Amino acid sequence: MSQEGDWGIKALCRFDPDPHKWLSPRRHEIEEAREICHKCTVRPDCLFTAVYEGDFVGVNAGITEIEYLMKTWEEVEFEHETNWRKSDRLIQDLFREIL
């Protein structure tokens, strides 16, 4: 639930009287947050900020942190390689989901 930049003042989560649901481990609260996100007009900005500023925690742009991590996981050949990627294709796929 990042609210960086000018877009943050327009984010629907900012006006929620129960903002902890964006960080909640409870399924029903996560679903409530996602429903609000799906009505929000600044989802692309929210997603961009969460991904590129490394601030993807809880629910951002209607996508949970777990969903984000699952999409970024890659198998590696060698132990010293990283398992996480941050590619333009990932961002495109995530944006397709929210638009």
- Per-domain residue ranges for the chain? 6-98
pLDDT at 38: 94
Helical (H) or strand (E) element with 63: strand 63-64
Q: What is the pLDDT of residues 14-70, one digit of tens each?
A: 999 999 999 999 999 999 999 999 999 999 999 999 988 877 889 999 999 888 888
Contact 25, 16 (CB under 8 A): no
Q: What is the pLDDT of residues 74-95, one digit of tens each?
A: 666 776 665 555 566 676 677 7
In this prediction the pTM is 0.71
